[in-house]
Amino acid sequence: MINLGSPPPALPDGGLRVVALGGIGEVGRNMTVFEHAGRLLVVDCGVLFPEDDQPGVDLILPDFRAIENRLDDIDALVLTHGHEDHIGAVPFLLKLRPDVPVVGSRFTLALLAAKCREHRQTPNLVEISDGEQRAFGPFELEFFAVNHSIPDAVAVAIRTSAGLVLHTGDIKLDQLPLDGRLTDLAGFSRLGDEGVDLFLVDSTNAEVPGFVAPEREIGPVLENVIRRASQRVIVACFASHVHRVQQVLDVAVQYRRRVALVGRSMVRNMGIAAELGFLHVPDGLFVDLDEAMRLPEDEVLFVSTGSQGEPLSALSRMARGEHRQISIRAGDTIVLASSLIPGNENAVFGVVNGLSRLGATVVHQGNAKVHVSGHSPAGELLFLYNAVRPSNVMPVHGEWRHLRANAALAVATGVAEDHVVIAEDGVVVDLVDGKAAISGRVEVGHVYVDGLSVGDVGESTLSDRLVLGEGGFIAITVAVDSTTGRAVAPPTLSGRGFSDDPKALDQAISLVEMELSRTEAEGITDSHRIAQAVRRVVGRWVAETYRRRPMIVPTIIPV
Amino acid sequence: MINLGSPPPALPDGGLRVVALGGIGEVGRNMTVFEHAGRLLVVDCGVLFPEDDQPGVDLILPDFRAIENRLDDIDALVLTHGHEDHIGAVPFLLKLRPDVPVVGSRFTLALLAAKCREHRQTPNLVEISDGEQRAFGPFELEFFAVNHSIPDAVAVAIRTSAGLVLHTGDIKLDQLPLDGRLTDLAGFSRLGDEGVDLFLVDSTNAEVPGFVAPEREIGPVLENVIRRASQRVIVACFASHVHRVQQVLDVAVQYRRRVALVGRSMVRNMGIAAELGFLHVPDGLFVDLDEAMRLPEDEVLFVSTGSQGEPLSALSRMARGEHRQISIRAGDTIVLASSLIPGNENAVFGVVNGLSRLGATVVHQGNAKVHVSGHSPAGELLFLYNAVRPSNVMPVHGEWRHLRANAALAVATGVAEDHVVIAEDGVVVDLVDGKAAISGRVEVGHVYVDGLSVGDVGESTLSDRLVLGEGGFIAITVAVDSTTGRAVAPPTLSGRGFSDDPKALDQAISLVEMELSRTEAEGITDSHRIAQAVRRVVGRWVAETYRRRPMIVPTIIPV
């Protein structure tokens, strides 16, 4: 999907330009580029996971075209936290500019470094701490502690001669955070006193009224579930949710269960978290999977990935009875301590149903309070606006419904309506003389990763996949004498994804033969024209006979 | 998906057999067959809508195989209400047995008759009213008023010498129903006094705690939204939800807006509802779409289908800016007064985002109380169990997670655990001497309707579609001399749904040529073996080069 529009005029001297190459108008692949005095600052560089109309795609990247000719102008890439939708595309940017300073907190950079190792990259890491100030080119940055569903998240303030900008990253306001590290509302208020010219605010939960319950309220719910379990317990959650896992571990210790981590990303991330002191693991608590299988069933607990119903995950395989080691038995307890990301409902409920069918007790968001969101809903966003008191607001991180809801909250707190700028990916916003306004648009499309290659799968391939996935195809192959146009053998018709009936296409063969006689009689020898004629005949036949629309693929072989 | 298992032994004399051919273990295509004294009674005959792993399928029917040799034994087909998942497959059953008595309430039969007219069928309709008793063969039926999200729903009691059975159909317990027609809990209690041997209970909302708010609480919310609208208002809801539409019409009258119905099923069903007196429409309220377009924007209201984000619906077209007549403008108000059926989230939010992007105010379940469910949640189900006090319980209408939750509620009210029978589609339950128990299993698969034909699309076609939809295909065509095995022309390779890059397959051509030289050298002339060899080479190449798995389709033409 390419957005067309006018490119913006040159940025006035002393102005600040903001453009999202991903993450606004969608949830994922967050990447915002700031320009000032001829230099660039990038905040986040994440991936987006594909939807139903993007079949076969593994990942979607931000569109780097707007900066690909200015890579040397980038003074820093700031990462607000370690979630995939904020760091997942960094290796692809590093391929273009390997030495860009990558700025982030300790845990964020540790996750990034692990990712880069898999890509055989050694990024230029610049670790910052809460409250630190640091300049990169003309951008004077200040970092603020932020609470989110991963440790060590930060918001970033950007000071330039154009004014003061604050970008929340992903944020919520848990007032009793498990690690005691509060979102630095006091710091935001101090910035507000100073005067924030542009406030970029997480929109993800702007439609949701009220407040998020504290993360620590999950613990007693888990305790209540695990206390009553007399057999195996499996808790699935996001592989980066250190505080959720911490609470599971605490309950495991309490009920004398040892813990096995299941899933590559869970093992990797919790290893990093434990090593850096973000996860506290008593000695001897962890066992490997083989050892766990030898323990009595009421002395073990598995912490697993697969909470979104990913078909290849360990949990999905257990639900289908296909896991190599773990067989679910009636009476086992499975907890999905996670959100239900829109679009994953069928997959997740498929897992819940599979486990239920096997007789397991399945505890999930829908029947117990085993999850709280990582994003501020409306009530908390109001606190943020009132602390920061910004002159201009730009809702980020969200689909249009979220952006509009967030904009309405800004206006409700007193921000002037024409100072709230909704600018989806590619829309250029300039902050000049204290006023933010749209100045144009750059092209931003979807960049697809499918297997090993990036960018060769585009909209035309996807549209073919959608047609093929709905109706399969009918292939017609004819060898034709290239001088006379006569078919030298009977045409073959074969369908895949069209019908289970082996005789389904029989009727069409004679129609193709008749059409070939006609083209021959008319002296048509051009393969392309013969192919068109044959495609038309079969397409019409299948529409009338079956009312279906398979792809019709003629191949004419001149011999 | 074929379930294998042992077929049941002969039903003991005086026993009652129950088997679901659809609707248990899934939400949709409800169809339950009762057998007694050599005769059959069928309750409901609906369709199921396909999921992601059933691409291109229009509808899924119950599997009639278990009864197809006993069609003449069917004494009646009882329809509990007029929703598609209860009546949608009736025309397919009538094709097999056109004269079967179809028993239902007035509104249910009117909807069925309209459906049958589209199939050019004239069913043998038997209208019953609330409280009526009527025998069909050895089945003595009694009908009870039931409240649901469509008017005129009924539950059915079935008396035979095997005992008394009560089937709720879809049910909830709105204590202030808009039409004053309460679920007949008093009647259920009377049956309970008599002694209910087997209770089949709607499981859809068994996982949801509490009670459903009365339907009439939606009215004031709609009023509050529509009162403030200064431009066009569009309300989307289910085309059979007469009471929801009634409340919309009442508010339209109050604010002097005339009403246009949008969507074929909305026009048809509301026409029937108005004609039969289920919908009260003041004279002159309805206008057609053309007339509506000429009215001032604040004097019109559209009631539309498309609340589930169906891509071809009027509302989806409006959201994409593609509707022929209605263009959404900033300031318009759209209300989605409907549930969000799991699996439809992306489609529905796509519509919400499209409308938001155009500047419309979008009111939906997520931000206002504009929908209540049609199914009893846990709190109401407890009332049902305590009224009926059944000896045996069989949860129906639901996925495994719903069935388990419903079973737990039955047990909580005192039903003995071994008298609660979870029997998914095809599992045979016999009620003998007052005890219900599983006696075997009959084959029940998915019967797919795709376009005009039924049953020719099966699991192998669907699995091909899934492969094609994920990765497209690479076709390799070679004309080969059938005596020497030599290729008479260079092989052609072409991909669809594989890559946008026209050179993507160039590398593979020489590999295919080398392989053809090898097969020729080995004296291989058999087309099938040549095809296999070529497929293997290209498959390996594409996996290594792209790490993708397109379908590889070789065609060898012997000339």
Give me A536's structure tokens.
Answer: 């038309």
Do A277 and A198 belong together in one domain? no
Do A206 and A219 belong together in one domain? no
Closest by CA position to B127, among listed B144, B146, B110: B110
Do B480 and B494 belong together in one domain? yes
The angle at the Cα of B148, spanning B142 to B153, to the nearest 5 degrees, equals 30
| pLDDT score for A393 | 98
Query: Phi then psi for A441, rounded to 5 degrees?
Result: -150, 140
Q: Which residue has the higher pLDDT, B509 or B343?
A: B509
| pLDDT score for B5 | 65
| Chain B CA closest to residue A422 | B357
- Indicate the average pLDDT of chain B: 96
**Identity of the residue in A457, A465, A479 whose CB atom sits nearest the CB atom of B479:** A479
What letter represents residue A42's amino acid? V
Altogether, the residues listed in chain B come to a count of: 559
- Find residue B125's DSSP bridge partners: B102
Residue A379, in any domain of the structure:
yes
Cα–Cα distance for residue pair B266/B236, rounded to 1 Å: 10
Q: Give, in order, the Cα–Cα distances in Å from A526 to each of A480, A517, A519, B87, B188.
A: 10, 14, 10, 53, 76
Residue A332 forms contact with B (CB below 8 Å) = no
How remote is the C-alpha of B155 from its chain's centroid? Answer: 20
**Identity of the residue in A401, A451, A558 whose CB atom sits nearest the CB atom of B349:** A401
Angle between helices A459-471 and B459-471 (to 10 degrees): 180
Interface contact flag, A557 B466, Cβ < 8 Å:
no
Residue B302, in any domain of the structure:
yes
- State yes or no: pLDDT of B254 exceeds 90: yes
| Chain A CA closest to residue B545 | A452
Do A320 and A430 belong together in one domain? no
Residue A457 forms contact with B (CB below 8 Å) = yes
Q: Are A279 and A273 in contact (CB under 8 A)?
A: yes
Interface contact flag, A473 B470, Cβ < 8 Å:
no
Residue B356 forms contact with A (CB below 8 Å) = yes
Print pLDDT tens along chain A (559 aa): 334 468 899 999 999 999 999 999 999 999 999 999 999 999 999 999 998 889 999 999 999 999 999 999 999 999 999 999 999 999 999 999 999 999 999 999 999 999 999 999 999 999 999 999 999 999 999 999 999 999 999 999 999 999 999 999 999 999 999 999 999 999 999 999 999 999 999 999 999 999 999 999 999 999 999 999 999 999 999 999 999 999 999 999 999 999 999 999 999 999 999 999 999 999 999 999 999 999 999 999 999 999 999 998 999 999 999 999 999 999 999 999 999 888 898 999 999 999 999 999 999 998 899 999 999 999 999 999 999 999 999 999 999 999 999 999 999 999 999 999 999 999 999 999 999 999 999 999 999 999 999 999 999 999 999 999 999 999 999 999 989 999 988 999 999 999 999 999 999 999 999 999 999 999 999 999 999 999 999 999 999 999 999 999 999 988 8
DSSP state of A365: T
Q: Where in the sequence numbering do the catalytic residues of B fall?
A: 202, 375
Residue A508, in any domain of the structure:
yes
Over residues B115-132, the mean pLDDT reads 97
Question: Which DSSP helix (H) or strand (E) runs through A391?
Answer: none
Residue A156, in any domain of the structure:
yes
State pLDDT tens for residues B184-231.
999 999 999 999 999 999 999 999 999 999 999 999 999 999 999 999
Last residue of a domain, one of A429, A451, A473: A451
State pLDDT tens for residues B430-466.
999 999 999 999 999 999 999 999 999 999 999 999 9
What band does B559 get if pLDDT is binned at 50, 70 and 90? confident
Do B69 and B202 belong together in one domain? yes
A83 annotated as belonging to a binding site for a ligand: yes
Q: Give, in order, the Cα–Cα distances in Å from B76 to each of B40, B67, B105, B244, B486.
A: 8, 13, 14, 32, 66
Cα–Cα distance for residue pair A108/A85, rounded to 1 Å: 13
Give me B293's structure tokens.
Answer: 């377009």
Q: Are B215 and B385 in contact (CB under 8 A)?
A: no
Contacts of B497 in chain A (CB under 8 A): 56, 461-462, 464-465, 467-468
Look-up: residue for tokens 């309430």?
Answer: B105
Distance in Å, alpha carbon of A81 to nearest chain B alpha carbon: 26
Strand order in the sheet with B551-558: B492-496, B473-480, B551-558
Q: How many CB pairs under 8 A join A and B?
A: 203
Q: Are B29 and B46 in contact (CB under 8 A)?
A: yes
Cα–Cα distance for residue pair B198/B167, rounded to 1 Å: 8
DSSP state of B290: H
| pLDDT score for A489 | 85
Look-up: residue for tokens 């909470």?
Answer: A307
Cα–Cα distance for residue pair A87/B129, rounded to 1 Å: 64
Q: Which of residues 14-33 of B touch A (CB under 8 A)?
A: 25
Residue B246, in any domain of the structure:
yes
Do B25 and B168 belong together in one domain? yes
Percentage helix, strand, coil for chain A under 3-state DSSP, each rounded to 5: 35, 25, 40
| pLDDT score for A5 | 65
Give me A377's structure tokens.
Answer: 């809903």
Q: What is the CATH number of the domain that holds A494?
A: 3.10.20.580
Q: DSSP characters for A269-305?
A: HHHHHHHTTSS---TT-B--HHHHHHS-GGGEEEEES
Model pTM score:
0.93
Interface contact flag, B464 A496, Cβ < 8 Å:
yes
Query: Phi then psi for B518, rounded to 5 degrees?
Result: -65, -50
Interface contact flag, B464 A405, Cβ < 8 Å:
no
Cα–Cα distance for residue pair B245/B260, rounded to 1 Å: 12
ipTM, 2 dp: 0.91
Do A121 and A246 belong together in one domain? no
User: How many structural domains does chain A have?
Assistant: 3
| pLDDT score for A3 | 41
Last residue of a domain, one of A451, A480, A507: A451
Do A261 and A201 belong together in one domain? no
Give me A208's structure tokens.
Answer: 């949701």
Do B177 and B219 belong together in one domain? no
Give the structural domain span for A321. 215-364
Per-position b or e across B508-522, b if 16+ CB within 10 A of its CB? beebbeebbeebbee
**Any catalytic annotation for residue A13?**
no
B14 annotated as belonging to a binding site for a ligand: no
H helical segments located in B472-526: 506-521
Interface contact flag, A356 B497, Cβ < 8 Å:
no
Do A58 and A190 belong together in one domain? yes
Cα–Cα distance for residue pair A524/A529, rounded to 1 Å: 7
Q: What is the CATH number of the domain that holds A35?
A: 3.60.15.10
Contacts of B58 in chain A (CB under 8 A): none
Cα–Cα distance for residue pair A486/A520, rounded to 1 Å: 6
Give me B401's structure tokens.
Answer: 């997670």
Q: Are B136 and B166 in contact (CB under 8 A)?
A: no
| Chain B CA closest to residue A503 | B456
Interface contact flag, A548 B489, Cβ < 8 Å:
no
Closest by CA position to A84, among listed A525, A449, A481: A449
Contacts of A324 (CB under 8 A, 6+ apart): A317
Over residues B259-279, the mean pLDDT reads 97
Contacts of A522 (CB under 8 A, 6+ apart): none
A197 annotated as belonging to a binding site for a ligand: no
**Identity of the residue in A362, A465, A499 whose CB atom sits nearest the CB atom of B401:** A362
Do A442 and A468 belong together in one domain? no
Query: Phi then psi for B475, rounded to 5 degrees?
Result: -100, 135
| Chain B CA closest to residue A401 | B353
Do B170 and B59 belong together in one domain? yes
Q: Which of residues 79-118 of B touch A (CB under 8 A)?
A: none
| pLDDT score for B6 | 85
| Chain B CA closest to residue A548 | B451
Contacts of B39 (CB under 8 A, 6+ apart): B73, B74, B75, B137, B138, B139
| pLDDT score for B533 | 97
H helical segments located in B378-458: 378-388, 400-412
Q: Are A212 and A405 in contact (CB under 8 A)?
A: no
Look-up: residue for tokens 């109401």?
Answer: B380
Q: Is B170 exposed, middle or buried (0-12, 13-18, 19+ CB in 10 A)?
A: buried
Q: Are A491 and A513 in contact (CB under 8 A)?
A: yes
What letter represents residue A296's amino acid? P
Cα–Cα distance for residue pair B430/B417, rounded to 1 Å: 17
Residue B51, in any domain of the structure:
yes
Contacts of A362-368 with CB under 8 Å at 24 or more apart are A362/A334, A362/A335, A362/A336, A362/B401, A363/A225, A363/A333, A363/A334, A363/A335, A363/A336, A364/A335, A364/A336, A365/A336, A365/A338, A365/A339, A365/A340, A366/A340, A366/B207, A366/B208, A367/B207, A367/B209, A367/B405, A368/A221, A368/A225
| pLDDT score for A343 | 85
Give me A217's structure tokens.
Answer: 């309220």
Distance in Å, alpha carbon of A308 to nearest chain B alpha carbon: 14
Contacts of B381 (CB under 8 A, 6+ apart): B201, B205, B206, B406, B409
H helical segments located in A279-412: 289-294, 314-319, 345-357, 378-388, 400-412
Q: What is the CATH number of the domain that holds B345?
A: 3.40.50.10710
| pLDDT score for A4 | 46
Residue B58 forms contact with A (CB below 8 Å) = no
Closest by CA position to B24, among listed B40, B8, B44, B9: B44
Residue B508, in any domain of the structure:
yes
Q: Which of residues 497-536 of A touch B (CB under 8 A)?
A: 497-501, 504
Question: Which DSSP helix (H) or strand (E) runs through B154?
Answer: strand B153-160
B85 annotated as belonging to a binding site for a ligand: yes
How remote is the C-alpha of A216 from its chain's centroid? Answer: 26
State pLDDT tens for residues B53-98.
899 999 999 999 999 999 999 999 999 999 999 999 999 999 999 9
Residue A122, in any domain of the structure:
yes
Cα–Cα distance for residue pair B387/B172, rounded to 1 Å: 14
DSSP state of B62: -
Give me A99's structure tokens.
Answer: 């030495």
Over residues B23-47, the mean pLDDT reads 97
Last residue of a domain, one of A393, A421, A451: A451
